Structure 1
Amino acid sequence: MVSAQLYLDRSANSPLIIDLETQGEVRINSALDLVLDHASRWQTFSYTGDYVLSRCIGNERKKEVFPILEDLNLEGYRYNIERSDLACFEHAPRLRAVRTDFFKRSCSELPWTQLTSLDVGVYEAEDIYLLQQCPSLTVLKLRNYQWSTLGPISSASLESFTFVCPKERREEHLLENVFCCFTFPSLAKLVIYSEDSSTTNLIWPLDAFSAFISRSSCALTTLSLSSVVISDVNLIAALRLVPSLTNLFLDGLEDPEGRSPLTSHFISSMQGSSPTHLVPKLCSLSIKFKGTSFDDVAFINMVSSRWTPDRTHAAAIGIDCLRSLVLHFLDREVDEDVYRPLWHLDEMGMRVVITSKK
């Protein structure tokens, strides 16, 4: 406490980044009370714990103003953050980013209209309509959402959407409900993954994804899929829907039979010499391959066919140059001799990283 007080005194009027964790009950003269005396200097405030913040930021502190607060992170240990905790930060004119495990439609205390980034857990389906009070959002991350047939809910400014499937969810139509719920005309980045790397609860819904892309009319540039159940045919079909894609990340995918969808058929469809180019603007490809059966030769040929550093040649054949490749084998080793051609591409300018299990 003495060193913390000394730091706060010596830092004068400099903006503060506060990262505070507590366990159990916290006394009013604790570290929490100490940093509250400098609330006007908070630029970032992160709190993890079960103490009710409104016990301190209330009563005589009721009209507390956070004039330079930009980032707010509130999460509980055993219990969710309470509504009264969010209400403590009602007067934060520069608040732009919020992460919290409390997100209720009836919660009107935060300045939702000015937020540009939101990372929340949603426990009641109707609470998602609170997003309609966030017209400035460009980044959204949803966790623990209890999906039902809602929407479509539109966010015209949203550029990045991440959906995290929690460990306990085992709902077959989870992703289908996600895609049916939203319309994001400005979406450029889509990230989907599971907290526990389970594939049984993230089944890819091609028709719902197609409808989402059509309804949104967005130009997706980054797609990241982790622990998703999808066939090679559906993966190819999904990528055909997003010709604007420049960055593709595939991690631990499985088909319905438990095999990898990164088959010889999928790899051949990615060939730069293919008459109908798949993701013609692709510049960065990152793969974590689950399984042992992988067509190394076809993959090397595909990557080589996308190395088109000469812009005139690239324009003539209709694909952009692949500039970065990251390949990690989760269940097998790398044959250095087989992959020698890709090391040559690395020497020529492509970023090539190929690794395997330890």
Structure 2
Amino acid sequence: MTSWVSPVQTVPNEILEAIFDDCCDTNLFKVTGVRSMAFLRDKPALTLSSVCSRWRSVGLSLSSIWSRISLKYYDDDLPLVENRLATILTIFISRSRQQPLSINIYLDDYEFKSSAPETYQLLSMLCKEYQRWSSFTFRSESWTVHNLFNIGFTLANLDVFLNLVDLDLPPALTGTNLDFFTRRAPKLRRLNLDSDWTGYETLEIPSAFPLAQLTHLRLDITSSVVWETLQKQVLSETALLSLDTEDVDWIGRNLESITSTTCSSIELLNVRHYWNDTSGSIFPFLNLPSLKTLRLDCGQDSLKRDHWWRNFDPFMAFVKRSSFPLTTLYIECLALSDSNLVYLLHHIPTLMDLTFNDTKGVRHLSPITKQFIESLHAHRTSSLRQQTAPLIPRLRYLTLATGATSFDDEAVVDMVTSRWAPDGSDVNVDCLRSFTITFHARTKVPCAYETLNNIEKAGMRIAVLVGQV
């Protein structure tokens, strides 16, 4: 009787389905001779549906949680292991019914040895379902996609990938792999060429590859030489909505020699910064007049670099050149001075949603200072902003996260209060609708923020958080 009165039994099936779906991002099949206690944990769909009859019923009704499959070879020539996994994989394929499949195949450490189906039984099983693939991630230094489909297939008889929308490929043998999908992926929309591009400076996307149909592109390119090669293809011959890329290294390049390319369709840009001893910037290549969302991230190896962001000048040239109607800006752990951040915000008056997170960076290189907070005040000038017109007047959502141990909390409260005008009485600024601030180095919420309780009751969403949230 205990199980029937357990709180989890009161959770509606719809909520349980959402939880299952969130837990089952992928189901991993590992071909290895080493026995692991993670066998079931690697396959959450199987684990969740084995808990009780109700969970089994819910799990079996969700074809989506069985359709996300990852296959990784740690060893080869293990027929008994493959046979055992093949039985389970058959169950997954059956329970996924006609749901489009998300397939990840990792063969990083293996050379292509045989085209016999019995040698790579699991690969053969997944490849036979290729017309159901909606997402495909492939990692290998020596195999090509051609090798995969040489296992039990005649390439001449291979039909198109009817449902393939998302394609993620490694840098090695990229031209060959992309060529394989030319004219075989009529619905392809997202392409991810993801890894370290060192050594691939002659990379070219095949001219016949359907770049024009892509809407989302992720490129991890650290070489300006490669970027110049791809610049026209990527920006001029596509109708991209989003571009996700690393910053690039100049390695002796002259900034003035770079010519920007305009792409009027891109609305979202994510740039990841992985600084090394040579500074570089992707921004001189870009002119994005329709950009609405911009995300600037700092890579893990750059978080503790004790110097300011070196690309601010080319970045600002990009901002001014593009003159975009930006509405959302997210900056994480970028070593930006408070004066430079204010200068940037002055040039994007259309901004409605601002997030800045400095918690993993060097503390004294954070722009979240008292002077910056004062610059956001709707009616006052500050030492960083002498103009009487408010900074980012359309701001409605503000999120700050800081690692500071001390802060001018009264200045924060004063700034938030100045932007609360729900009745439209302040024609100079939009009403701030949401404010979140997180103090990662504090253990208690300061009493000063109690002043905001009345504003929260009146309708603003306010969250003041402490600790590692």
TM over 0.5: yes
One-letter amino acid of the counterpart of residue 186, structure 1:
S
1:20/1:319 CA distance change after superposition, 3 Å: same
- The count of aligned residue pairs is 348
Partner of 1:242: 348
Aligned residue in 1 for 2:126: 35
- Cα distance in 2 for residues equivalent to 1:6 and 1:55: 26
- 257 and 339 in structure 1: CA distance in 2 versus 1, 3 angstrom threshold: closer
Q: State yes or no: 1:184 paired with 2:269.
A: no
Matching residue of 1:145? 248
Give the Cα separation in 2 of the matches to 1:123 and 1:206: 18
What letter corresponds to residue 429 of structure 2 in structure 1? I
CA displacement 1:297-342 (0-9 Å, x = unmatched): 001110111122112x13x3x1111111121113233434221123
In 1, are the aligned partners of 2:359 and 2:440 still within 8 Å (CA)?
no
Does residue 97 of structure 1 match 2:190? Answer: yes
- RMSD (CA atoms): 2.8
Higher-RCO chain (CA-CA 8 Å, sequence separation at least 6): 1
Distance 1:210 1:352 in 2: 31
The reply on whether 1:198 has 2:303 as its aligned counterpart is: yes
Instruction: Give the Cα separation in 2 of the matches to 1:320 and 1:95.
Output: 40
- C-alpha spacing 1:261/1:39, structure 2 compared with 1 (3 Å): same
Confirm or deny that 1:132 pairs with 2:235.
Answer: yes
Q: Take 1:219 and 1:295, find their aligned partners in 2: how far apart are those partners?
A: 32
Q: Secondary structure at the match of 2:104?
A: strand
* Counterparts of 1:171 and 1:344, CA distance in 2: 51
Letter of the 1:154 counterpart: T
Are residue 279 (structure 1) and residue 392 (structure 2) matched? yes
Partner of 1:288: 401
Spell out the pairing of 1:335-350 with structure 2 (5 A cutoff).
335-350=445-460
User: What is the rounded CA distance, in whole Å, between the counterparts of 1:4 and 1:246 in structure 2?
Assistant: 47
Question: SS of the residue aligned with 1:67?
Answer: coil
Compared with structure 1, are the counterparts of its residues 217 and 106 closer, same or farther at alpha carbon in structure 2 (3 Å cutoff)?
same
2:160 alignment counterpart = 65
Contact 1:71 1:96 (8 Å CA) reproduced: yes
For structure 1, which segment, 20-29 or 189-198, has the greater mean C-alpha deviation from structure 2 after superposition?
A: 20-29
Name the residue aligned to 1:309: 422
Question: Which residue identity lines up with residue 303 of structure 2 in the other structure?
Answer: S
Contact 2:221 2:248 in 1 (8 A): yes
- DSSP 3-state at the match of 1:88: helix
Counterpart contact for 2:404–2:441, Cα < 8 Å: yes
Alpha-carbon distance in 2 for matches of 1:309, 1:178: 40
Counterpart CA distance in 1 for 2:308 and 2:159 is 43
Deviations 1:206-228 (A, max 9, x none): 54333222211211111112222
User: 1:285: Cα distance to partner?
Assistant: 0.9
Q: Write the distance in 1 (CA, Å) between the matches of 2:128 and 2:308.
A: 46
Q: Residue 80 of structure 1 contacts residue 101 of structure 1 at CA under 8 Å; is this kept in 2?
A: no
2:440 to 319, 323, 330: 330
Inter-partner Cα distance in structure 2 for 1:203 and 1:253? 16
Structure 2 residue runs without a partner (length 5+): 1-85, 198-202, 381-387
- Asked if the contact 2:396–2:434 (Cα under 8 Å) also holds between the matched residues in 1, the reply is yes
Q: Any conservation in 2 of the 1:18–1:44 contact (CA below 8 Å)? A: yes
1:83 pairs with 2:175: yes
Matched, 1:74 2:169: yes
Which deviates more from structure 2 when the two are superposed, residues 229-238 or residues 5-14?
A: 5-14
CA distance, structure 2, for counterparts of residue 220 and residue 8 of structure 1: 44
Match of 1:213 in 2: 319
Q: Paired residue for 1:222, among 321, 324, 328?
A: 328
Among 97, 109, 115, the alignment partner of 1:24 is 109
Give the SS at the match of 1:213.
helix
Higher helix share: 2
Distance 1:81 1:216, change over 3 A: same
Distance 1:199 1:220, change over 3 A: farther
* Aligned 8 A contact 1:154 1:182 in 2: yes
* Structure 2 match to 1:53: 145
Write the distance in 2 (CA, Å) between the matches of 1:246 and 1:118. Answer: 25
Moved more, 300-309 or 132-141: 132-141
1:352: Cα distance to partner? 1.6
CA–CA separation in structure 1 for the residues paired with 2:214 and 2:334? 30
Task: Tell me the secondary structure at the aligned position of residue 56 of structure 1.
Answer: helix
Pick one of 108, 112, 115 that aligns with 2:214. Answer: 115
Shift of 1:11: 4.4
Indicate if the aligned counterparts of 2:189 and 2:214 stay in contact, CA closer than 8 A.
yes
- Deviation, 1:49, is 4.7
Q: Distance in 1 between matches of 2:101 and 2:164?
A: 9
AA aligned to 2:145 is: L
Letter in 1 for 2:326: L
Larger Rg: 2
2 CA distance for matches of 1:136 and 1:271? 39
- What percentage of aligned pairs have identical amino acids? 27
Question: Which letter does structure 1 place at the counterpart of 2:369?
Answer: T
Structure 1 residues 192 and 170, CA gap change in structure 2 (3 angstroms) = farther
Partner SS for 2:295: strand
Partners of 1:16 and 1:133 lie apart in 2 by: 32
1:46: how far off? 2.5
